[in-house]
Amino acid sequence: MKKQERADFVFDYLNAIYLETPIPLNHNSIFELLVAVLLSAQCTDERVNIVTPVLFSKANTPKMMVKLSVEEIHDCISSCGLAPKKSKAIAGLSRILIDKYNSEVPESFVELESLPGVGHKTASVVMSQGFGHPAFPVDTHIHRLAQRWGLTNGKSVTQTEKDLKKLFPKKHWNKLHLQIIFYGREFCTARGCDGRNCKICKTCYPLRKSPKKTYKA
C-alpha cells in the first residue's frame, strides 16, 4: 500500500465504525470548552469531566472566574495534572478575555495562542469543536497512530499535523481527528497494539514483523 492508499483505507474504515463523533469534553459554552481543553493536558477526559462541573458551578464565565482566587480554582481542579500551573493560566486568561475581548473567546489561532496556557493543540480544538473551523488537533493518540499507519514519520507533532492535513480533505478534518482518537482509545492503544494487532495496522502493514517504534508527542 502507498501512503495515500493507507490514508484512504483509514478514512473509509473509521467512517464505517464511528458514525457519530460526540465531543469528549462536556461543556455548555466556548469558554467552558476552552477551560476544559486546557485542563485536559496530561489528564484524561474522564477526569476533566469530573472536575469541570465543580469548577463551573462556581464560575462558568470569565467575569465569574476572576472573582475566584487562584487557590480557589486550584482547589476545584487539584486532581488534574499540573493543577498549580493550570489554575494560574485559567485566572490569567479570564482576565485577558475581559480586558481585551469583552469576555468573549477570540475566534482566531493567533489570539487564542496568545492566551496563558493555550498552545496550538488547545487552540485547534477550540477552533474546530467550538467554532467549527477546519483544524486537525494532534494529541498523543493521533501522533501514535499516524506513525503506526505510516502516515507520518512522527518526528514532531507539528510534522504529523502537516502530513495528515495533506492526506485528508479539509472538510473532514474536524470529524476525522475525533474518529482517530476514539480508535486509538478503543483498538490501537498504547500497550494493546504495537503496530501489528489492530485491524488498521494489520491492513496497512500485513507483513510487519516487529513492533512499530513511535516517537512520543
CA 81 to chain centre: 16
On whether the CB atoms of residues 195 and 177 are closer than 8 A, the answer is: no
CA 196 to chain centre: 25
Query: Does 99 participate in catalysis according to the annotation?
Result: no
Say which of 121, 162, 165, 199 is annotated catalytic: 121
Q: Give CA–CA dist 152/157, Å, rounded.
A: 10
Q: Give CA–CA dist 93/82, Å, rounded.
A: 16
Say which of 3, 58, 88, 139 is annotated catalytic: 139
Reference 44, options 125, 140, 179; nearest CA is 140
On whether the CB atoms of residues 160 and 146 are closer than 8 A, the answer is: yes
Query: Does 139 participate in catalysis according to the annotation?
Result: yes
Q: Is 207 exposed, middle or buried (0-12, 13-18, 19+ CB in 10 A)?
A: exposed
On whether the CB atoms of residues 167 and 6 are closer than 8 A, the answer is: no
Angle CA 49–193–217, to nearest 5: 60
Q: Is 216 exposed, middle or buried (0-12, 13-18, 19+ CB in 10 A)?
A: exposed
Q: Which residues are catalytic?
A: 121, 139
